[in-house]
Structure 1
């Protein structure tokens, strides 16, 4: 089709939803329960971390920011899915589609940066305990979180501008449950090579750069822990932060790295959907349980909150963990 015959698509249609009323009802119920549990769990972590003085440490500061990030990420995708199932209207304006795609990747990119910052925090707490309070002061923690958000904002801005400038002349059916960039690019009738190259390079830098920082941090933590004089010190140092954080890191990076495996077009699309479900639905759901059920201080704060006769945060707290 010649450029003069292009007609800009203004409304897109999300196709990856079941037509059966029974399946729609089950999907709606599952998504509603998942979203409610995810929102409640992350809000509890944010609330307890803010109200309980025992959780006013650097690690819980980053954990609150991660919970807030995960809450936003699931809110970008799931509410629209619930509206589509409830109303049967699968249409979404082109502008709304671009905005949803931008915020999905903004939050996902910021998530990787924040996970890398958390690994650095764990490294300093375990490997540099005497200098930790100076190196990781409240002002530094705030700057690191702000830098993570700013980096995510700038990192995703250029590909989004390039995508918004592409001609979309039909068809307008997106074979996905939200406006992911890869199925959206397949609808463009223009040249997408530059955008695909820019997106690949930036995504690779984010993944490999943050993963390298995380890997080096945990290599240093492991080397320090193995030199601990007793097994009890090893277990305490590792279980207090590394196990929970590593679980989240493996889930986040695993779902993203799998997208770079070269498969057939149909397999790649299926893998893209599975990875998207992991990153924007399953991981935000599991994070509150991963970080709270294995953390004695969070569990104690929850128990104290349920005991109305006892003020919250009445006891002193210990350093980082």
Structure 2
């Protein structure tokens, strides 16, 4: 993609958390700890899924392992840059780097949209068609589904990024945000911007977000109706427990995103916008592993198996020495 605006603007200034300048050091320490913990959680899940022979063959955990990798990429597009700006208050970012961050962040966000639909499809097939599930949701099909999510997510955002980058930016160049979000960027563009904001909202936000959201809602509605008809109380409660955590993650993702990019709200207060963006770009990737996997009995058992294997290997090595 060739990124070239029609004016001489070569860089932007990210204003960041202007209202919290006095607490810059505390914010820096907090987000460093949060980032490290987020990476540690997701690396743990990826390691468990890859090394455990049982989980590595189950479609649900193949999806969750890849989802953890997605969350690591997602949080890395925002938090390191935010930490850099907290450590050095200038907040200067080049035109190209700004649009690269915008493209990566929203491509990963779109990929997560498609991932949530893939996970909803997996639970729908597993509960509504249990006899056909092993044949339909084979490991090869699962990996093809994962690849499709990545490809669709990254292709979908090319048009909005190119359209916005071709606009004229005649100053000021201060983005009232801690990252390169299309809303604040568009507010700096010289009029007329034409129908570009509408095209970007339809292509990049409404179609992807609402389309996947409705698919997820329909899938889980069918799952819940099927579970209500299940005669076994024990299996019903176990399935409901799994579905509940899935729905919590879906709500954590779609709630803030809908408030930001789908529901029309006029002029929003910039600090509220930053808080909502911070929640879904930094806090949610930290919470998702805790909700999805680290409270999961199969993951806990896989962790215990890995610990026993590591202990046995260490003991054998000590005996050999």
Contact 1:15 1:174 in 2 (8 A): yes
Contact 2:52 2:306 in 1 (8 A): no
> What does residue 150 of structure 1 align with?
151
Unaligned runs of 5+ in 1: 1-5, 312-321
Give 1:256 deviation, angstroms.
1.1
Contact 1:115 1:249 in 2 (8 A): yes
Question: Kindly tell me: are residues 91 and 169 of structure 1, through their superposed partners in 2, closer, same or farther at Cα, counting changes over 3 Å?
Answer: same
Contact 1:244 1:294 in 2 (8 A): no
Q: In 2, distance between residues paired with 1:201 and 1:53?
A: 43
> What does residue 206 of structure 2 align with?
204
Q: Determine if the alignment matches structure 1 residue 53 to structure 2 residue 53.
A: yes
Q: In 1, distance between residues paired with 2:294 and 2:155?
A: 35
Summarize the alignment of residues 172-321 of structure 1 with structure 2, pairs less than 5 Å apart: 172-202=173-203, 203-239=205-241, 241-259=242-260, 260-267=262-269, 269-307=270-308, 308-310=310-312
Q: In 2, distance between residues paired with 1:216 and 1:19?
A: 41
Give 1:299 deviation, angstroms.
1.2
Contact 1:18 1:24 in 2 (8 A): no
Aligned residue for 2:256, secondary structure, equals: helix
Unaligned runs of 5+ in 2: 1-5, 314-321
Give 1:20 deviation, angstroms.
7.0
Q: In 1, distance between residues paired with 2:158 and 2:132?
A: 37
Q: In 2, distance between residues paired with 1:210 and 1:299?
A: 30
Note the alpha carbon deviations across 1:55-90, whole angstroms, 9 max, x for none.
121000000111111100100000011111222331
Aligned residue for 2:157, secondary structure, equals: helix
Question: Kindly tell me: are residues 213 and 35 of structure 1, through their superposed partners in 2, closer, same or farther at Cα, counting changes over 3 Å?
Answer: same
Q: Determine if the alignment matches structure 1 residue 163 to structure 2 residue 164.
A: yes
Contact 2:164 2:196 in 1 (8 A): yes
TM-score (ref. length: structure 1):
0.90
How large is the Cα RMSD of the aligned pairs?
1.7
Q: In 1, distance between residues paired with 2:9 and 2:40?
A: 38
Aligned residue for 2:54, secondary structure, equals: helix
> What does residue 123 of structure 1 align with?
124
Q: In 2, distance between residues paired with 1:20 and 1:218?
A: 41
Question: Kindly tell me: are residues 129 and 114 of structure 1, through their superposed partners in 2, closer, same or farther at Cα, counting changes over 3 Å?
Answer: same
Give 1:198 deviation, angstroms.
1.2
Give 1:8 deviation, angstroms.
2.1
Aligned residue for 1:220, secondary structure, equals: helix
Q: Where has structure 1 moved over 6 Å in runs of 4 or more?
A: none
Note the alpha carbon deviations across 1:124-151, whole angstroms, 9 max, x for none.
0111111111111111111111111111
> What does residue 35 of structure 1 align with?
35
Q: In 2, distance between residues paired with 1:105 and 1:67?
A: 17
TM-score (ref. length: structure 2):
0.90
Q: In 2, distance between residues paired with 1:18 and 1:276?
A: 15
Q: In 2, distance between residues paired with 1:218 and 1:20?
A: 41
Contact 1:76 1:104 in 2 (8 A): yes
Give 1:22 deviation, angstroms.
4.9
Q: In 2, distance between residues paired with 1:141 and 1:182?
A: 35
Contact 1:11 1:172 in 2 (8 A): yes
